[in-house]
Amino acid sequence: MIKNKKIYLSAKGLTKVFGFGRTRTLAVDHVDLDLYEGEVISIVGESGSGKTTLAKLLLGLINPTEGEIYFEGKERDLSTNKKRVAYWKNIQAIFQDPFSSYNIFNKIDAVLLDCIRMRGDGRLPYSEKVEMMEKACSFVNLKFDEMTNKYPFELSGGQMQRLMIARIFLLNPKILLADEITSMIDACSRATILDMLLQLRDDIGMSVIFITHDIGLAYFVSDKVYIMDQGMFVESGTADEVILNPKEPYTQRLISDVPKIYEEWDLSTV
Amino acid sequence: MKHTLGQIFRSPKFLVGFVIFMAILLLVIIYPLFVTDNPLGIIGQGTFFEPGIYVNVYDSLRSPQYILNLDNAAINRIASRLGDQERQDMKEWLIEYGVPEDEIDIDDTESLMELWVNNYDSTIVVPGMTAAKRKYYVRLDASLEGILATEGFHISVRNEETGDLDEVGYVNQKDYVNVNQVANVRILPLGTDNFGRDMLTELVAAIGVSLKIGLVAGLIATMIGLSLGLLAGYIGGWLDDIIMFITNLFTVIPSFVLLILISYSIGQEQRGAITIAAVIGLTSWVWTTRAVRAQVISLRNRDHVNLSKLSGHSVLHIIVADILPYIASYVFMALILQISSGILAEAGLSILGLGPKTTEVPTLGLMMNWAMIYSAHIMGKWWAYFPVIVAIALVSFSLNLMNTGLDQVFNPALRD
Amino acid sequence: MSNYMLEVKELTTKYITRFKENVYAVDHVSLAVEEGKSLGIAGESGCGKSTLALSLMGYYFPPLHYTSGEIIINGKNISGMDPDSVRKLILGKEIAYIPQSAMNALNPTQKIIRFIEDVVHAHHPDASKEYILELATERFETLGLPPNVLEKYPVELSGGMKQRTVIATSVILGPKVLIADEPSSALDVTSQKKVIKMLRDMMDKGIIKSMIFITHELPLLYNVTDDIMVMYAGQIVEQASAKNAVFDPLHPYAYGLMGAIIVPEEGLRDVSLRAIPGVPPNLKDPPSGCRFAERCKFVQPECLVNSVLMRELGNNRAYRCIFTEEELREFYQNDKK
Amino acid sequence: MLQAKRGMAVFSNCQSIGGAALKGYLKYFGGKLIWFLITLIFAFLLNFILPRLMPGDPVAIITQRVVQGMTSQTGIQKVYEEYATLFGTNRPMHEQFFLYVRNLFQGNLGTSFSQYPRPVADILKSSLGWTLALQLPAILVGWMIGNTLGALAAYVKKGFDKVLLPASIFLSNLPAFGMAVILLVIFGVQLKWFPTSGGYGFDMIPKFSWDFIKSVILHYQLPFWSIVTIAIGGQAIGMRSMSIYELNADYVKFARFLGIKDRKIIGYVFRNAMLPQITGLALSIGTMVGGALVAETIFSYPGLGSTILTAVMGQDYPMISAATLLITLMVLVTTFLIEILYGVIDPRIKAAQTD
């Protein structure tokens, strides 16, 4: 069923090198990736595997050393600020730490108003903008009037992360990149966050790229899984293929190292 | 924002520093409103007049006289002429002469004078006393001669035609004048300096100028530091390497030596106060650049900056809205330190004679320099240099205290 | 009744914040661990589990202050002991502590062996350097750590290696009780497994007599500890064997928590995850009745009235709720439909 | 004392530099060395150019002084040309620079204008000895005392910290000459314990007799203590905040929970807080030299400070550029040495250097 969908994003031979001489590090090493409309994929890797660098490459926040990124079949061109903004209308992100995602000197309304301006509705009367913001907040079951002209430090982690999703609701991009968005959130509010994202996927066909170290989460939420280690994709395929019967030794060891509760967790294979 | 302001004004260190600094600032602003004469105006003929109230003798003779019967008036009059040294010498002579020591009490002026008058005779040759010593005693005896006299002074005026002196008035020992009624009275709380200028007025003006120099130097250094730090930190790459190379160069070359070289090569004529401030500013931006760069680098890939990019903001907007507010507190603290070091640098330079031109404007450094050249400190003229040191110390102490207070507000780990 | 390595009765400790407010992060906690057994303590961030770890050590320094309750280690009541003798006789010897972030738990400018010498000399001043080196080498080898680590500086070790070195160091004197506060959560999965294996080996080989393992990762606790306690807002709300706690939780919070577990195992994709709305209460002035009341799906008016006591069910199973076991099981039955 | 024992432990660990680490080391210090040389060249350039920017013509001033009595214009002109060639000021700028550098390497720093026939080199040689003898020990002693006081303020929280911090803030921003003058007045003029100016008695000729040395020691005291008190203030504040940071580090809590006594833990903290202060010393030597120069001029101590002052008064270009170059060199060398020493002492830095 994925096949007849449009292809949103693909990367060919994507590479990123930092530093030179003594401090030269190869963060992303010739990575290939395809993302279809409405598809949820996960990039799973330990810290230092290069998954965050890959995320920044896909987002266009940093430029690749080698390889190309195609958006909707055409090669991506981010030479001018106008082109970059046009690209960012279609691809957005939510980051790991809600507390550091907000500018502490601005009220949280600024975050939502930025999105409205970026959508091109900047000149709408303020009342209409408030209406939009109320709709977005209700989507993430927050009440706008409880939120408005508050400063970030007056909100809880869960509320802030949900406001980030409200932001995505306003921009309704084609692709959302979620970088470790649940690792700072308590388990019991994790489910609500995931449901909201999947809801957006069903409503507007938004495709999601999950960046995570939590293999359980990847298995639970995504259609395709890419296992990443030292900048390279070690294995990729559907969630059941990769996680339930992995072929590569690295993936096998990775899956066996995760504690299980239904099957026996074999501690001898250290 | 209100919340942090509240916190700032609750930190004791900041408050003390702020109060001292404001007091100095107010002094510099308000004092010239009352005392309008030129700080470099020479009013005293002669060097280093002691602090005190200077009453015009001529006018006091003209002003109304009042009779006051004060019992220790005579003793005060003698005491003011008999220093400890003279009392010691008198005691010595009397012992030599044969008066038993326990009878002599040099603190009781009256009994000492009586013994002296009854026993001293310049003709007696005391064994073992040099000729110079004997002449000294003769002079001492003569100077005491008039003290006990009870009659007053006759005041006379030379008559143009006859050429002789007509008596105009008589002043006896109990006549007093009311200072407020004397036409010309000048209070010199800090006396005068070696040129004869009123120290207090000069000091206040100097503090004002030094503050201006510190402010200009501080602003220049902080602006350079901020812009270079932002460029190096945010844009990075080869630009960062060049800026850091220059910064490292300036870190190693001692800024004070650089100051000497530059201000020296400007030459005496162009060295006005503001040029010196500019030179100090141009050689002391290194610390701020380094610190701002470090902070900007850590901010550059923070999530809120990336999100701001993703929300379509321009680089300029990101720098102004997302980077600057985060480092504003640090930059302000750096400014305070730069001002304080600017003032100290100017003072240091002036001591070496490389400070601003002397004729136009007094600065704290210049006043120190003049005091040193005319060795006020060796001759014990404390009012020529000590108040200047205290002024410099107070200004930089208050600035630094404010900085430490802010430091504790902005990084809680340092809170004691 | 086999003897308890660690018994804690009604322990209460508080934080005094900078604004002089009291935060009761540990509120009348009671627990006991028998010899050869290990106890897991699960809870979300901010529930007071890390504070509990520090409070169990019997040694307090600002901002944490002791309020009331008893701590009995290997039969010795240490709650009344003066701090210096607690440090000399108990800390490192009877009870050991593993911090969460091992990254900077070791003195950065000192070799590992020098630090171990200091630890041993704190309790046995006359132990010779050779004896200590021998003891450390033997202990590192039994725990699967290369002995040449002893000559290295912390900065030369990887994250996983540093954490395992910290653990080996803290049990060098064979303490009765080991308190491990999130020992593996900052590590990658592979290093985490090595740490867990090390902890299990130490229990099996009798290097330590008992262990309290504190973490928010429930699948870990299920595989490591014999019993599990669930903590919420400074109080213990559920106490059971590992199996019962995960598969048959009684307290509504525990029920919600266990429903939110995600593990990469077959069949998990079609199970709908459970969520608990709302946020934990502020510990500065906790609500009077049941502290979980405002977030509980099955809340009744009487929950909010008086504080709820633990209900014992025998063979050290208990939960803190006013409903009986049957009522709760019935709620969960029709909640699943 | 604690310090000595700590020092031993420090040097015992530097033999353990393995082969691979050595290669990393050399590459790291190779880079540092190149940067050191570039800075040196830049310092040469600066010291050469700046005096030459001076308005007015130095050679004209000397000829004026020399030709006092002469009347004939041509005579004066000839003397001017002779000096111009001697000092090379009539050659194009870049040629002058090469001449300047060539002389530099031969140790010939040109002849001093103000003290004419005497070459700059030996004026500097004599004053350098005095400055080194005064400033290095003073800066080190000030650094030591400052750090110990700072550490004490951090550990002994209550009384000590409330008193010491404001005092050290006040001390550290007293101007260098301010402290010098105050000490001079109190101990020199009032109490007459120490002489107030000069490096040794005026009537003495420098020789190794006991009373000459006694006189030097006496003259040494006031300038020495005025530099020390300034250094104390700055270092104390730095050390205090460093110690507070270290005291809050996790290893302190972990060590306590293993039963290690506070005295030993404070030993760890002191050492970890002290090491970054060594870089602090390297960085602050530059600024301290400035302050110390001023203190020298107050006591007319025969060091580089007074030499620079007389050179400035006498508009003596070769003297000024040579003296400032010398100071820059001194600072450069000490900073470089301390950086090497730092790598040896602090394993955290050694790891950063070799990986």
With contact defined as 3+ CB pairs under 8 Å, the chains touching B are: A, D
Kindly state the percentage of chain B with pLDDT values over 90: 18
Helix-then-strand count for chain A, H and E: 10, 10
What mean pLDDT is reported for chain B? 84
CB D350 within 8 A of CB D28: no
CB contact (8 A) between residue C274 and residue A263: no
DSSP string covering C203-226:
HHTTSSSEEEEEES-HHHHHHH-S
In the block, which residue shows the tokens 């003279």? Answer: B86
Task: Record the tokens describing residue B129, joined without a space.
Answer: 């006393």
Taking only the tens place, the pLDDT of each residue in D226-254 is 888 878 877 888 888 888 888 888 898 89
B36 and B102 in a single domain? The answer is: no
Task: Record the tokens describing residue B86, joined without a space.
Answer: 């003279």
Report the range of poorest mean pLDDT among A66-70, C144-148, D291-295. Answer: D291-295
Nearest CA to CA, how far is C94 from chain D (Å)?
A: 10
Residue C312 lies in a domain: yes
Is the minimum CB–CB distance between D40 and chain B shorter than 8 Å?
no
Three state DSSP letters for chain B: CHHHHHHHHHCHHHHHHHHHHHHHHHHHHHHHHHCCCCCCCECCCCCCCCCEEEECHHHHHHCCEEECCCCCHHHHHHHHHCCHHHHHHHHHHHHHHCCCHHHCCCCCHHHHHHHHHHHCCCCCCCCCCCHHHHHHHHHHHHHHHCCCCCCCEEEEEECCCCCCEEEEEEECCCEEECHHHCCCEEEECCCECCCCEEHHHHHHHHHHHHHHHHHHHHHHHHHHHHHHHHHHHHHCHHHHHHHHHHHHHHHHCCHHHHHHHHHHHHCCCCCCHHHHHHHHHHHCCHHHHHHHHHHHHHHHCCHHHHHHHHCCCCHHHHHHHHHHHHHHHHHHHHHHHHHHHHHHHHHHHHHCCCCCCCCCCCCHHHHHHHHHHCCCCCCCCHHHHHHHHHHHHHHHHHHHHHHHHHHHHHCHHHCC
Beta-ladder partners of A211: A43, A179
Chains A and B form CB pairs within 8 A to the count of: 49
- What integer pLDDT is reported at residue D287 of this predicted model? 66
Picking from D258, D263, D350 by the largest number of C CB atoms within 10 A of its own CB, the best residue to mutate is D258
For residue B364, the domain's CATH number is 1.10.3720.10
- What integer pLDDT is reported at residue B414 of this predicted model? 55
Task: Report the SS3 class of residue D249.
Answer: coil
Q: Read off the pLDDT of each residue in C295-311 and give the average, rounded to a whole number.
A: 84
Q: Count other C-beta atoms under 10 Å from residue B359's C-beta.
A: 6
Residue B58 lies in a domain: no
Q: Read off the pLDDT of each residue in A118-139 and give the average, rounded to a whole number.
A: 90
Residue C310 lies in a domain: yes
CB contact (8 A) between residue B265 and residue D50: yes
Q: Which residue has the higher pLDDT, D135 or C178?
A: C178
| Residue among B1, B304, B312 whose CB faces A101 most closely | B304
Per-residue pLDDT band at D1 (split at 50, 70, 90): very low
Shortest CA distance to A174 belongs to which of A52, A262, A76?
A76
Picking from B252, B269, B404, B411 by the largest number of D CB atoms within 10 A of its own CB, the best residue to mutate is B252
C254: domain range? 248-337
Is the minimum CB–CB distance between B269 and chain A shorter than 8 Å?
no
Taking only the tens place, the pLDDT of each residue in D100-141 is 777 777 777 767 766 667 777 788 888 888 888 888 888 889
- What integer pLDDT is reported at residue D62 of this predicted model? 67
Three state DSSP letters for C41-69: EECCCCCCHHHHHHHHCCCCCCCEEEEEE
d(CA C168, CA C162): 10
Taking only the tens place, the pLDDT of each residue in A56-112 is 999 999 999 999 999 998 999 888 888 999 999 999 999 998 888 999 888 899 999
Taking only the tens place, the pLDDT of each residue in D201-232 is 777 777 777 888 888 888 888 888 888 887 88
Q: Read off the pLDDT of each residue in A159-187 and give the average, rounded to a whole number.
A: 89
Please give the domain boundaries of chain A with CATH numbers for all domains.
Answer: 7-269 (3.40.50.300)
Residue C184 lies in a domain: no
**Total count of domains within chain B:** 2
B137 and B203 in a single domain? The answer is: no
Per-residue pLDDT band at C116 (split at 50, 70, 90): very high
d(CA A17, CA C265): 36
Residue B358 has pLDDT above 90, yes or no: no
Tell whether the torsion through CA atoms of B94, B100, B103 and B104 is positive or negative.
positive
Residue B145 has pLDDT above 60, yes or no: yes
Residue C232 lies in a domain: no
- What integer pLDDT is reported at residue D54 of this predicted model? 63
In the block, which residue shows the tokens 């204008």? Answer: D113
Helix (H) or strand (E) segment spanning residue A50: none
Per-residue pLDDT band at D48 (split at 50, 70, 90): confident
Taking only the tens place, the pLDDT of each residue in B15-48 is 989 999 999 999 999 998 888 888 888 888 888 8
Residue B393 has pLDDT above 60, yes or no: yes
- What integer pLDDT is reported at residue D152 of this predicted model? 83
Residue C7 lies in a domain: no
Taking only the tens place, the pLDDT of each residue in B122-131 is 777 777 777 8
Picking from B2, B303, B327 by the largest number of A CB atoms within 10 A of its own CB, the best residue to mutate is B303
Shortest CA distance to A141 belongs to which of B311, C275, C292?
C275
Is the minimum CB–CB distance between C282 and chain A shorter than 8 Å?
no
B213 and B264 in a single domain? The answer is: yes
Pairing of the two strands A66-71 and A74-75? antiparallel
Chain A, nearest residue to B316 by Cα: A81
B119: domain range? 83-143
Chain C, nearest residue to A191 by Cα: C275
Q: Count other C-beta atoms under 10 Å from residue C160's C-beta.
A: 19
Q: Read off the pLDDT of each residue in D271-288 and give the average, rounded to a whole number.
A: 76
Report the range of poorest mean pLDDT among A179-183, D81-85, D300-304. Answer: D81-85
**Total count of domains within chain C:** 1
In the block, which residue shows the tokens 């003596």? Answer: D316
Residue C261 lies in a domain: yes
- What integer pLDDT is reported at residue A33 of this predicted model? 92
Name residues whose C-beta falls within 8 Å of residue B261's C-beta, 6 or more positions apart in sequence.
D46, D47, D50, D51, D320, D321, D324
Shortest CA distance to B227 belongs to which of B301, B273, B281, B302?
B281
In the block, which residue shows the tokens 């000839």? Answer: D78
B38 and B95 in a single domain? The answer is: no
CB D176 within 8 A of CB B389: no
Per-residue pLDDT band at D25 (split at 50, 70, 90): low
Is the minimum CB–CB distance between D66 and chain B shorter than 8 Å?
no
d(CA D338, CA B41): 52
Picking from D251, D253, D353 by the largest number of C CB atoms within 10 A of its own CB, the best residue to mutate is D251
CB contact (8 A) between residue C153 and residue D351: yes
Is the minimum CB–CB distance between A80 and chain B shorter than 8 Å?
no
Residue B175 lies in a domain: no
Q: Read off the pLDDT of each residue in D291-297 and give the average, rounded to a whole number.
A: 76
B134 and B262 in a single domain? The answer is: no
Task: Report the SS3 class of residue C157.
Answer: coil
Residue B327 lies in a domain: yes
Tell whether the torsion through CA atoms of B226, B229, B232 and B233 is positive or negative.
negative
| Residue among A88, A101, A115 whose CB faces B303 most closely | A101
- What integer pLDDT is reported at residue D5 of this predicted model? 37
Chain C, nearest residue to A184 by Cα: C45
Nearest CA to CA, how far is A215 from chain C (Å)?
A: 6
Q: Rounded to the nearest 10 degrees, how much is the dihedral formed by the CA atoms of D182, B352, D296, D44?
A: 150
Q: Letter for the amino acid at C32?
A: A
Residue D28 has pLDDT above 50, yes or no: yes
Residues 311-340 of D with CB under 8 A from B: 312-313, 320-321, 324, 327-328, 331-332, 335
Chain A residues close to C276, C-beta within 8 Å: 188-189
- What integer pLDDT is reported at residue B259 of this predicted model? 78
Residue C214 lies in a domain: no
d(CA A139, CA A169): 8
- What integer pLDDT is reported at residue D14 of this predicted model? 39
The answer to whether the predicted template modeling score (pTM) of the entire model surpasses 0.95 is no
Per-residue pLDDT band at B121 (split at 50, 70, 90): confident
B293 and B228 in a single domain? The answer is: yes
